[in-house]
Amino acid sequence: MTALAVLHALPAAAYVVDERGCVTGINRAAEHLLRRTAEDLLGLDAHEALHRDRCGNPVPRAQCQVRRAGLAGRVELGTDVWFERGDGTLLPVGWLVAPYVAEGTVTSTLVVFQTREADLGEERRRGGPLPELERLALLAELTTQLTSTMDGEEAMRRLVALVVPRLADWAVIDLITENEEVRRAAVLTVSDGALVHHRDLQGPMPPIPGDSELPVARALRGAASTLASPEMYQGPLASGMAVEQRRLFAATGIHSAAVGPIRGLREVMGALTLGRSDRPDPFTGEDLPLLEDICRRLGIALDNVRLYERQRKVAETMQRHLLPQLPEVPDLEMTVRYVSAPDASQVGGDWYDAFQLPDGATALAIGDVVGHDLEAAADMAQLRNMLRAYAWSQQQPPSKIVEWLDQAAMELAEIDMATMIFARVTRAGSAGWELSWTNAGHPPPLLVTRDGLATYLEDGHSILLCSGALLPRPDATALLPPRSTLLLYTDGLIEVPGESIEAGLGRLSRNAASLAHRPLESFTDELLARTRPPDNDDDVAVLALRTPEDDRDTR
């Protein structure tokens, strides 16, 4: 449903303003109450065109409650405002302001209003259902809260914080797991203004009885919402779930409850029970439509969370299978880290590799295929496999291997663009270990001595892969001192939007130098924690290698 369609579907009068306060949409109910057409109001500053005091004078911008609530981006209710109609008369209104989703971003403000002819406060004191504006305010705030998290526990906590004690003294959430089992995920109340979990009432539940007509069993099967009371669970009970419900009523003191199914897009996700123990007024049938609206929003939120979790598990499993295990090389320590982007439902194009060659050398590689999706991951797997084949079968310098790889990547794999470093580590007799490498457009390797001297290995650099320019590539060599650490990494470790690449490289070298004395595993973990940008939206791959002590130092 489009944003405009949602606006026209609202039962109350409403209009929408953009970040400047200009009207971008108005529904027919608002046109009727204001005696003005949409054409008259669209594009006008809503504050100047509508907001008045009781005498019909314009309200100063700094004092206008409606405008201040909209600028703050919060859900708020109010009453002391008059709107000027098209015929010049004043309309006293009760109003609700809430953030409004338009074109995929929360950039607009929704203003819902109605006349103040009814005494809404008296209706509330009589214990009836929420007045229309309060109901809309609750649902608007609930929608905003639930759509801004992908954590199921957090979504449930936010829901309970909004409905307890506004609607009930207790909230109970039962969820159906992916194994078709039932888990009582939350039993919450409020004490001294804070939500309190009753964990002794939470946990696994008996199976859903297929023929029970008791409220929670029916809700878990997807039946319509209904009312419940402790009297329903007296006497002999035919199911374990009914026994658990009797225990719940006894432990909480709930005398009246409303129970509704939590439905996702494809299946029933669980059941929500709202209970009253301290409030004397019982739930009635008039409360059930609001309960169903709440359950519907929670169901969509939990369905999205479950889908996200499934995608993330698939992505993590795929990434684990795409990235290799490290070989065991005598006298060399190696470790790797792969940190996925915040959108962990996708696999990425960052990769590393390490393997031993027939001549005894150890091959190291790290790279980044442009993109952050399944296509990039597939390209990455092809690139890595071709590299292994060339490096294993052809005893050639790194530059030659990468030249062949570049041509094959363009003509056979049709990879768009990629960067990489390919290196060989070999023994250099009494001199220790030697690194030879070529760099195809990738951030340079970092070499850190045991004394904390950090140096970027900037030689051997050439154009990235799949550029179309099949130029000769250079090789470079360097000795790796005893107990030194070689670091290969992808750009997600150093790049920050709006910051120069030199700043990121400087931060990495300083952090690496300060950690040179750490064991390799600790070095790598702490380096990631200190260096990886907190707002990073890219994958990070790191391969760290440490050479042994000099033989003369260990004698």
pLDDT of residue 555: 38
Neighbour count for residue 306 (Cβ, 10 Å): 18
DSSP 8-state code for residue 369: E
Closest CA to 428 of 390, 489, 480, 359: 480
Take residue 200 and report the two structure tokens written for it. Answer: 């002794």
What percentage of the chain exceeds 70 in pLDDT? Answer: 87
Distances (CA, A) of 462 to 424, 457, 474, 476: 17, 13, 7, 11
> Is the predicted pLDDT of residue 22 greater than 80, yes or no?
yes
Mean pLDDT, residues 5-18: 78
- Return the minimum-mean-pLDDT range out of 121-135, 148-162, 469-483: 121-135
Residue range(s) in the chain whose domain bears CATH number 3.30.450.40: 149-312
Mean pLDDT, residues 245-261: 95
Tens digits of per-residue pLDDT, 373-422? Answer: 556 667 777 888 899 999 999 889 999 999 999 988 887 766 778 899 99
Tens digits of per-residue pLDDT, 73-107? Answer: 777 878 778 899 998 888 888 888 887 765 555 56
Residue 189 CA to residue 193 CA, distance in Å, equals: 10
DSSP H helices, 195-277, are 215-220, 240-252
Take residue 411 and report the two structure tokens written for it. Answer: 């003509």
**b/e burial code for range 210-240 (CB count within 10 A of at least 16 → b):** eebebbbbbbbbebebbbbbbebbeeebebe
- Return the minimum-mean-pLDDT range out of 52-66, 217-231, 336-350: 336-350
pLDDT band at 363 (very low <50, low <70, confident <90, very high): very high
Q: What is the pTM of this model?
A: 0.53
Beta carbons of 187 and 170 less than 8 angstroms apart: yes
pLDDT of residue 456: 97
- Arithmetic mean of pLDDT over the chain: 85
Beta carbons of 110 and 100 less than 8 angstroms apart: yes
pLDDT of residue 139: 75
Closest CA to 401 of 433, 365, 377, 368: 365
Take residue 235 and report the two structure tokens written for it. Answer: 């006497």
pLDDT band at 116 (very low <50, low <70, confident <90, very high): low
Q: Give the chain's length.
A: 555
pLDDT of residue 344: 46
pLDDT of residue 466: 85
Regarding the domain delimited by 3-118, which CATH topology (the fold level of the hierarchy) does it fall under? Answer: Beta-Lactamase (3.30.450)
Tens digits of per-residue pLDDT, 139-178? Answer: 777 777 777 777 778 888 888 888 888 889 999 999 998 8
Mean pLDDT, residues 255-284: 92
At residue 140's C-alpha, the angle toward residues 134 and 146, to 5°, is: 130
Residue range(s) in the chain whose domain bears CATH number 3.30.450.20: 3-118
Q: Tell me the residue type at 438.
A: T
pLDDT of residue 118: 45
**CATH placement of domain 149-312:** 3.30.450.40
DSSP H helices, 337-437, are 374-393, 398-408
> Is the predicted pLDDT of residue 297 greater than 80, yes or no?
yes
Half-sphere exposure of 395 (CA within 13 A, CB side): 6
Residue range(s) in the chain whose domain bears CATH number 3.60.40.10: 324-554
- Return the minimum-mean-pLDDT range out of 113-122, 207-216, 222-231: 113-122
> Is the predicted pLDDT of residue 430 greater than 80, yes or no?
no
Closest CA to 120 of 142, 93, 97, 143: 93
Task: State the architecture of 324-554 in CATH terms.
Answer: 4-Layer Sandwich (3.60)
Mean pLDDT, residues 467-473: 82
